[in-house]
Chains A and B, each alone.
Chain A
Amino acid sequence: QKEVEQNSGPLSVPEGAIASLNCTYSDRGSQSFFWYRQYSGKSPELIMSIYSNGDKEDGRFTAQLNKASQYVSLLIRDSQPSDSATYLCAVNRDDKIIFGKGTRLHILP
């Protein structure tokens, strides 16, 4: 089992709709969870971090964490064309952060 798993996509979502991105992880000891956005040819940019079970909202973004199910998700409300990017899920393991392969999101105008 891979440490951090994401569906590679592409995930196509109409403009204005909700985009839902999912991630599962294998290490039950993980305590820190991050979502990064990466535009083509650019470096990853942190958009959300979450450390406890439940929901965390920041503007149009909501991160959801369920440690019992080892599942973390990212919801993007009112999707915009500028949200088209690859979204990387990242989970800590000891002193390191392990990244998933990312999900490509395409917002349809």
Chain B
Amino acid sequence: NAGVTQTPKFRILKIGQSMTLQCTQDMNHNYMYWYRQDPGMGLKLIYYSVGAGITDKGEVPNGYNVSRSTTEDFPLRLELAAPSQTSVYFCASSSSPGGHQPQHFGDGTRLSIL
């Protein structure tokens, strides 16, 4: 059971570099989410998608971009990495709208910006 798969698991970037965090799910879920989690903090929503071709901003979207060309994939792009983006990033998916069903999480990507 693959569920939600995130790559890479770890990455170190230099300030100003760009990268894409990959997320794919094999559960045919329409709803996908990107969160960041800073040390000792809860999860903050960056972007979410309710289906292929549809994305929307969450609480902390600045400095990030997303796309959703297929149901399975929801990549997160950092264009100009900044130290404030050092965090653990989690991708999640859900089968139903309105937050009425729980979210299934990937294992996370630990990103450091130096």
Chain A residues near B (Cβ < 8 Å):
4, 8, 31-32, 34, 42-46, 49, 51, 88, 92-102
Give the distance in Å from the alpha carbon of A99 to the alpha carbon of B42 in the complex. Answer: 6
Whether the Cβ atoms of A95 and B42 lie closer than 8 Å is no
Interface presence of B53 (CB below 8 A): no
Q: Which residues of B contact A101 (CB under 8 A)?
A: 40-42
Shortest CB-to-CB span from B35 to chain A, Å, is 8
What class of interface size applies to chain B in its complex with A? 20 to 34
Chain B residues near A (Cβ < 8 Å):
31, 33, 35, 40-45, 48, 50, 58, 90, 97-108
With contact pairs A43-B90, A43-B106, A43-B108 given, residues A95 and B41 touching in the complex (Cβ less than 8 Å): no
Give the distance in Å from the alpha carbon of A53 to the alpha carbon of B103 in the complex. Answer: 21
